Structure 1
């Protein structure tokens, strides 16, 4: 059983590494992790607007006004998501992390 587990882990690592290498693409077009000063200012503006909306009393607003605010929040969320970037982990790295966790625990 132990030999089967080791062979299965090896096969997963082998095929996971091949798949990530095939889909890696060109790294020259990758976004940088740093965001510009004007993007930081815009993110602060978005955060302050969201806090203003959270502090509002929605019971006094009409249905149309609530709908407009909901649409504005969706747009702000999309804009913040596009400016924020993110952390991406490759498949091979994820498999290695899982195997190490299994071995160590």
Structure 2
């Protein structure tokens, strides 16, 4: 029992002393660092639509229109991320994996 408590305390201390922000590598935005020729046309259209939505005046929109815009932004961001390479793991998934490793 003491060993489990000690492991949990050690795990909690490690999360406090090594936050995820320090270990995360910052990825530059795709539309600012890469050349326009390197970005596929469909991705460029999506990015242009995102910037158009960001610059839009949303104060005169009603609730349903804002909700549709949020939904559109989420789907565009999801499709842009899916087109890139890499694996994204949430911090919750990392915690669950670490707990399973400790338990087993």
TM-score (norm 1): 0.44
Higher relative contact order (CA 8 A, sep 6+): 1
Higher relative helix content: 1
TM-score (norm 2): 0.45
